[in-house]
Structure 1
Amino acid sequence: MVMRELRYNPLTGQWIMVSAVRKNRPWRPKNFCPFCPGGEETGYGWEVLLLPNRFPMFSFNAPKPESKGFYKKARALGQCSVIVETPEHGLKDLEELSIEQMTKVVQLWKQITEELKNNPHIAYLSIFRNKGEEIGVSLTHPHGQLYALPFIPLKVRLKMENSRRYYNRFKKCLFCKILDEELKGKRLIYENNDFILFLPFFANWPFEVHIYPKRHIQWLTQLTQAEILNLADILRVTTGTLNSLFERQMPYVMTVYQAPFKGECPFYHLHIEFYPLLREKDKLKYAAGIEMGTWDFTYDGIPEENARKLKNACKKIKDKIDMRGKCV
Structure 2
Amino acid sequence: MRELRYNPLTGQWVMVSAVRKKRPWRPKDYCPFCPGSEETGYGWEVLILPNRFPMLSFDAPRPENAGFYKKARAIGQCSVIVETPEHDLKDLDWLTHEQMAKVVKLWKNVTEELKKNPKVAYLAIFRNKGEEIGVSLIHPHGQLYALPFIPLKARLKLENSRNYYNRHGECLFCRILEEELKGERLIYENGSFAVFMPFFASWPFEIHIYPKRHVQWLTQLEENEVEDLAEAIRVATGTLNEVLGRDMPYSMMVLQAPFKGNYEFYHLHIEFYPILRDNGKIKYAAGIEMGTWEFTYDGVPEENAEKLREACKKVLGRLGAKGGCPEAVE
Judge same fold: TM > 0.5, yes or no: yes
- String of CA shifts for 1:231-250, please: whole Å, max 9, x gaps: 00000000000000011000
The match for 2:184 among 169, 183, 186 is 186
Question: TM (normalized to structure 1)?
Answer: 0.99
1:93 aligned residue (91, 96, 109): 91
Cα distance, 1:324 vs. partner? Answer: 1.8
Structure 1 partner of 2:116: 118
Partner residue of 2:213 out of 204, 212, 215: 215
TM-score, normalised with respect to structure 2: 0.98
Paired residue for 2:76, among 71, 75, 78? 78
Partner in structure 2 of residue 257 of structure 1: 255
SS in 1 for 2:59: coil
Q: Choose which of 31, 49, 58 in structure 2 pairs with 1:60.
A: 58
Which residue of structure 2 aligns with residue 279 of structure 1? Answer: 277
The correspondence for 1:322, drawn from 320, 325, 328, is 320
How far is 1:319 from its partner?
2.0
Q: Deviations over 1:231-290 (max 9, x none)?
A: 000000000000000110000000000000001100000000000010001100000010
Amino acid at match of 1:293: G
**Aligned to 1:317, what secondary structure does the other structure show?**
helix
Query: Please, which of 288, 300, 303 is the counterpart of residue 302 of structure 1?
Result: 300
Structure 2 unaligned blocks of 5 or more: none
Report the counterpart of residue 237 of structure 1 in structure 2.
Answer: 235
Deviation at 1:67, TM superposition (A): 2.2
SS in 1 for 2:209: strand
How do 1:30-69 and structure 2 match up within 5 A? 30-69=28-67
> AA paired with 1:277?
I
Paired residue for 1:148? 146
Q: Tell me which residue corresponds to 1:22.
A: 20
Instruction: Please list every run of 5 or more consecutive structure 1 residues that lacks an aligned counterpart in the other structure.
Output: none
Amino acid across the alignment from 1:319: G
Residue type of the alignment partner of 2:313: K
CA–CA separation in structure 1 for the residues paired with 2:236 and 2:230: 10
Aligned position for 2:288: 290
How many residues get paired? Answer: 326
What amino acid is the match of 1:20?
Answer: A
For 1:70 and 1:161, locate their aligned partners in 2 and report how far apart those are by CA, in whole Å: 28
Deviation (angstroms), 1:144 = 0.2
Question: Counterpart of 2:319 in 1: which secondary structure?
Answer: coil
Letter in 2 for 1:151: F
Distance apart, 1:318 and its partner CA = 2.2
Distance 1:319 1:264 in 2: 41
- Partners of 2:176 and 2:244 in 1: how far apart? 28
Q: Give the Cα–Cα distance (whole angstroms) in 1 for the partners of residues 112 and 58 of structure 2.
A: 18
Shift of 1:204: 0.4
CA RMSD of aligned residues (A): 0.5
